[in-house]
Amino acid sequence: MNKLFTLRKPIHFISLSSTNDYALKQIKTENVIEGTVFIADFQSKGKGQSNNYWESEPAKNLLISVVLCPKFLHPSQQFDLNKVISLALYDFTKDFIKDESVSIKWPNDIYINNKKVGGILIENIISGNLFEYAVVGIGININQSVFRSNAPNPISLKNITGKTYDLNECYMVLADFLEIRYSQLILGQQNKIHSDYLNSLLYYNTLSNFRKNEEIFSGTITGVNEFGKLLIKNNDNIIEDFDFKEVEFLLNHSF
Ligand code: BTN
């Protein structure tokens, strides 16, 4: 496909507190060009979703932040950006693990079976109606064998295949998928993006168990609305929407 967008040559650091924090600081102090990429071998304060720590041993995994300026999106369309970044990580993971075990766990975790191989933390800078910057933080577990933090279910590509990967080559593959998927967004291919996202979603159209507060219920994921809320049809055939953290997946451990 024609790429309308290319990433710049990455700026590499041996160690940073967080590539996202570094990118945000740069944006505040100078003019950062769209497509700028910061990569670190190690982060002392790697940020995960919900203020969690993102664990990564030095020089074992991909830790990157990409600066985007999605001014063509209205801030209310933020979830479209989330979809294309999730799809790029999904495409990347599928490139190494060529089977059905790879999926996107809503909203933006990359799973192999019931374990998390990659995560995304997008931090947006919005002024009024203008989507000025998105700092797209991406962590993908590549060569780390043992995870020590209390992250619930981490896994790496190496855990699955037993192989050790060249991180520069991995980055090149990821960059290609990011360019392709972000180009789709620039081209306004929202329908394709949406159907690819749904078709990659863990437990899509599958009766599954969820927990909201203390209550366990079964239901079927029927979609995701334009604001990124998860749509679950319950046993009474009523479709309810859920915000991030409002509902927890009870992962199927029968793999
Ligand atoms: C998650 O919890 O799923 C999101 C993890 C995002 C981690 C990446 S690593 C590179 C970038 N810099 C950070 O501090 N966090 C993101």
What is 6-66 written as a DSSP string?
Answer: -PPPPEEEEEES-HHHHHHHHHHHS-PPTT-EEEEEEETT-B-GGG-B----TTTSEEEEE
Task: Tell me the C-alpha distance between 120 and 49, whole Å.
Answer: 8
The minimum-distance atom of ligand 1 relative to the CA of 46 is 14
Is 118's C-beta closer than 6 angstroms to any atom of ligand 1? no
DSSP code at position 118:
E
The pLDDT value given to residue 245: 86
- The rounded percent of the chain whose pLDDT value lies above 90 is 91
State pLDDT tens for residues 8-21.
999 999 999 999 99
**Substitution site in 50, 63, 68, 104 for ligand 1 pocket (most atoms within 8 Å of beta carbon):** 63
**Substitution site in 104, 138, 141, 153 for ligand 1 pocket (most atoms within 8 Å of beta carbon):** 138
State in Å: Cα 121 to ligand 1 middle.
Answer: 5
Arithmetic mean of pLDDT over the chain: 95
The pLDDT value given to residue 253: 52
Kindly indicate the confidence band of residue 252, based on its pLDDT and cuts at 50, 70 and 90: low
State in Å: Cα 107 to ligand 1 middle.
Answer: 14
Task: Tell me the C-alpha distance between 174 and 169, whole Å.
Answer: 9
The pLDDT value given to residue 186: 97
Task: Tell me the C-alpha distance between 37 and 49, whole Å.
Answer: 20
Q: Which of 62, 69, 66, 27 is nearest to 46 (CA)?
A: 62
Is 121's C-beta closer than 6 angstroms to any atom of ligand 1? yes
The minimum-distance atom of ligand 1 relative to the CA of 20 is 12
State pLDDT tens for residues 25-66.
999 999 999 999 999 999 999 999 989 999 999 999 999 999
Is 137's C-beta closer than 6 angstroms to any atom of ligand 1? yes
